[in-house]
Amino acid sequence: MDKWVAEFFLRRQQNPRVYATNLLSALKPVDSDDCVKLKITAVLRDISNSLIRGTVDEEMLDLLEILEKLLLQEHSVIMDSLKSAYCWTAAECTIRFMWPVNASDGFFSDALEMIWKKRIGMLKERESDLVTHELLKWESDFNKAFEEPELYQKIRETNIRYNAISHLTQLLKEQWALLGCSSLESEARKMFLKRKDPNAARKKGNNLGRAGDTIGNVSERRESRKGKVDKVNEQEQVHEASLNKGYITVARELKGYLLEIQRLLDPSTSQGQEPNNALDMSVNVTPQLDRANRTETEDSEGTSSSGRVRPHLPTPEPLNVSPLKKGRWEKPRPRRPMKFWTPEEVNALKEGVKEYGKSWKDIKNSNSVVLADRSEVDLKDKWRNLLGRQ
DNA sequence: GTAGGGTTAGCG
DNA sequence: CGCTAACCCTAC
């Protein structure tokens, strides 16, 4: 139960002030091998929170390294998104130390030492998959930049942060999707399917892990179906009523549980004036509840069945449970500011096409310094422009 | 990842 | 206002 709640909490909680990895230690010790997934969830949450705060620093590198180790423990594949995210985060971390005009003025050499010699040196030692061609290219570029002021300037002026953030976002998207349903979600769904129609359960079984489905959806689907299956006999109704009672109890328990965790981790929200929408489980966990029933339970909620005292919470907006829902990572982002191509970039592109043809990805990787601000699509578009003029 | 059509910003 | 470069969206 601890584990389920922790997992659920981690998936839904979006609070930059909370460190998810602390959550695990705040819980009773559930440390065993089968907790790897939970740990991954925690790390993903930390990465996500870090992004929300807008910090891309060495702590992020730590998290990515931890994530890699956990994935290895799980015998998962290390995906390209993780490698790219690590690479660009490392570059971003280094570039933070390039604020002086001269390489020798600031802490650039320290950064090289800390990040590339020590940290990435260790990765090389254990032959980590994170050490990619791209990463090595950056390493040599940074080392060269220390000697060559011109290259130093060039790197210094590039916008690495944008790339780092988009790679990290992509990484999160993929990893969340890989995690699939939370235990609570799949458990709830299993129960629902079993109860509704044992045959349908078998048919729908293969949909269980589908990303993007939510308990909310289940409840909708269930309600729409309820209209069709109107001839429920009385026995069944009685049975369902007793099940409802059970769900209500569980929902209350969970709600209380989550509130406690919330208080433990983030005292600033402890007064509970604002309904924390991460906490209302009753709507989603009890799909059977009809309106009258729900308000009644909400109202009489001062004390839960276990006797915990909680502040009264107004019913918040129902949330989509799944962190996988489309749109969560796809904020309507404003158009990128327009930036005309420099002759240098155009040259790099021309050289690249000569060497690699139209594989924009390879071209970008081969000269990621000059082309740092240009996406693969940008290269393609620019090439189209260049051709158009001939 | 790439191609290709669509949209927008900047300039004369 | 029209043209073009840069940027975006989406199908494959």
Rounded CA–C1' distance between A375 and C5, in angstroms: 15
So what's the pLDDT on residue A115? 94
Asked if A348 and A296 count as a contact pair (C-beta separation under 8 A), the reply is no
Residue A241 has pLDDT above 90, yes or no: no
Query: In 10 A of CB A19, how many CB atoms?
Result: 18
Domain boundaries, chain A: 2-179, 183-299, 343-389
Indicate if CB(A390) is under 7 A from strand C. no
* Dihedral (CA of A298, A301, A305, A309) sign: positive
The arithmetic mean of pLDDT across residues A37-50, rounded, is: 85
Q: Residue A376: CB partners within 8 Å, gap ≥ 6?
A: A360, A361, A364
Share of chain A residues as helix, strand and coil, in percent rounded to the nearest 5: 65, 0, 35
* Dihedral (CA of A361, A363, A366, A367) sign: negative
Distance CA A84, CA A379 (A): 19
So what's the pLDDT on residue A248? 54
Copy the structure tokens of residue A144.
């060269």
Residue A59 has pLDDT above 50, yes or no: yes
Residue A105 has pLDDT above 60, yes or no: yes
Distance CA A370, CA A158 (A): 8
Cα angle A236-A249-A264, degrees, rounded to a multiple of 5? 155
Distance CA A314, CA A236 (A): 32
Of A159-173, A259-273, A375-389, least confident by mean pLDDT is: A259-273
So what's the pLDDT on residue A381? 95
Band (pLDDT 50/70/90 cuts) for residue A85 is very high
Secondary structure letter of residue A365 according to DSSP: H
The arithmetic mean of pLDDT across residues A33-61, rounded, is: 84
Q: Which residue has its C-alpha nearest to nucleotide C9's C1'?
A: A377
Half-sphere exposure of A381 (CA within 13 A, CB side): 7
Distance CA A93, CA A238 (A): 62
So what's the pLDDT on residue A90? 94
Band (pLDDT 50/70/90 cuts) for residue A150 is confident
So what's the pLDDT on residue A294? 40
pLDDT tens digits for range A292-319 = 344 333 434 444 444 455 545 444 433 3
Highest mean pLDDT: which of A25-34, A63-72, A304-313?
A63-72
Distance CA A71, CA A40 (A): 8
Q: Which residues pair with A309 in a beta bridge?
A: A303
Query: In 10 A of CB A390, how many CB atoms?
Result: 4
So what's the pLDDT on residue A343? 93
The arithmetic mean of pLDDT across residues A280-286, rounded, is: 38
Backbone angles phi, psi at A19, to 5 degrees: -95, 115
Q: The tokens 């740990």 sit on which residue?
A: A39
The arithmetic mean of pLDDT across residues A51-60, rounded, is: 87
Q: The tokens 């001839």 sit on which residue?
A: A231
Nucleotides of B under 7 A from a protein CB: 1-6, 8-10
Rounded CA–C1' distance between A161 and B7, in angstroms: 26
Which of chain A's residues 329-388 bind strand C, using a 7 Å CB cutoff?
335-341, 374, 377-378, 381-382, 385, 388
Band (pLDDT 50/70/90 cuts) for residue A20 is confident
Greater confidence (A39 vs A223) lies with: A39
Rounded CA–C1' distance between A147 and B2, in angstroms: 37
Q: The tokens 């327009």 sit on which residue?
A: A338
Q: What is the mean pLDDT of chain A?
A: 71
Query: Which one, of A200, A196, A266, lies nearest residue A236 by Cα?
Result: A196
So what's the pLDDT on residue A390? 54
Band (pLDDT 50/70/90 cuts) for residue A88 is very high
